[in-house]
A and B are shown apart, each in its own frame.
Chain A
Amino acid sequence: MVYSTELLKGTLKTIVLKLLVDNKKMYGYEITQKVKELTQDKIQITEGALYPTLHGLEADGLVTTETEYIGKRVRKYYSLNLAGKTRAKEKVNELASFVQTMTLLLDLKTKTL
C-alpha cells in the first residue's frame, strides 16, 4: 500500500530533517531512494514535493549546502546546521505526539488487537 499524497504532505519536512540527522549529508535523489528503501516502497517522495521542501529548509536557514561537480552538472548536498538539528528534534517529537494522539482518537490499539 502506497500512502496518499495528502497524508504525507504534512510530514515531508520531518522526514527530510530526520534523514539528514541520521545520514549527515544527502542529495535529493539519495533522499528519495532512502525513503523508498526504509519504507519498503510504501512512501515514495516525488521530486515535485521534495525539492520545494529542500528549498524551503534552505531558506529557513536549517540546512547548509555544498556542491560537487559531476562533469557539467552540479550535485547539491544538504546537511543540518545547529538550528536544523534542533528543529529536527522538535518536529520528530511533535509527530510522535501526533501519532499517539491519533492512535487514541481513532482507537487504533483496540482495533489492532
Chain B
Amino acid sequence: MAALSDEQVDYILDELRAHGIRLEGLRDNLLDHICILLEERLETGGDFESAYAALIPCFYRQELYELEEEALFITSLKGPHLVLSRNRLFQCLLGIVASPYISYFLLWFFILRPAGDPRQPIDVLDAIMVFALFPFLIILVLFLTPDRFDPLIPWRSKVLIGGKTLIRVLPAAT
C-alpha cells in the first residue's frame, strides 16, 4: 500500500488544526483515518492534492470543526461534572489567588487605614508578588486543559509543562 510521506502527514495535520480541530484525541483519530483513506486512493492512482481535496468534504456537512463541536457537546452531556472553558478556568484561579489580597487591601484602605497615612512601599511589593503569579497561573491553566493546548503553544513546548503530554509527544520528537 502507498504510504504517505512525513510532509504529507504534516500537511494534513496542519489542515486539521487550521480548520478548528483542537482536541488532540479527535485530531489523532481523524489524521489516521484520513491517511488510511488517502493511502487506499493513492494505491489506485492519482496525486495527493486532488485525492485530499476530494476526500475531506466527506467528513463534514459545512465545516470540519463540526466534529469537534459535536464531540464537545456529547462530552458536556455526561454526568454531573463542571466543564470550564480555558478563559473561565483562568478567571476562577485568578479570583481564588488574587481576591484575598484585593479584599484585604480594600478593607485596609477604606476602614483600617489611619487618616492621612500614605501607602507604604510594602503594599506595592505585596501587589507585585501577587501579580507575579500570573505566568504561573497561565502555565497551570495550560497544564489543566491540554486539549486546548496546541493553538497557543508550539507542540514541542509541551514537554516543558506536563507529564501526560510528555509521554504523548516524546515518540514523535525523536
Contacts and interface: CB of A to CB of B under 8 A. Distances in A.
Interface of A: 27-29, 46-48, 51-56, 58-60, 65, 67, 69-76
A28 B31 CA distance: 11
B78 A47 contact: no
6 contacts: A48-B60, A48-B67, A52-B73, A55-B74, A55-B75, A69-B171
Nearest to A78: B29
A33 B26 CA distance: 19
A48 B35 CA distance: 16
B36 A29 contact: yes
Contact of B30 (A51, A53, A59, A65): A51
B74 A73 contact: no
B97 interface: no
Given A47-B33, A48-B67, A72-B9, A59 B3 contact: no
B25 interface: yes
Given A69-B171, A71-B9, A47 B75 contact: no
A59 B75 contact: yes
Contacts of A69: 171-172
B171 to A, nearest CB: 5
A72 B10 contact: yes
Most buried by B among A59, A65, A70, A76: A59
Interface residues of B, number: 35
B31 A73 contact: yes
Nearest to A57: B74
A60 B80 CA distance: 11
A60 B74 CA distance: 10
Contacts of A28: 29, 32-33
B26 A74 contact: no
Contacts of B26: 51-52, 55
A71 B26 CA distance: 18
B47 interface: no
A73 B70 contact: no
B140 interface: no
Nearest to B75: A59
A72 B172 contact: yes
Contacts of A54: 29
A56 B26 CA distance: 11
A75 B30 CA distance: 10
B71 interface: yes
Nearest to A54: B29
List 3 A-B pairs, minimum CB-CB distance, nearest first: A56-B74, A52-B70, A55-B71
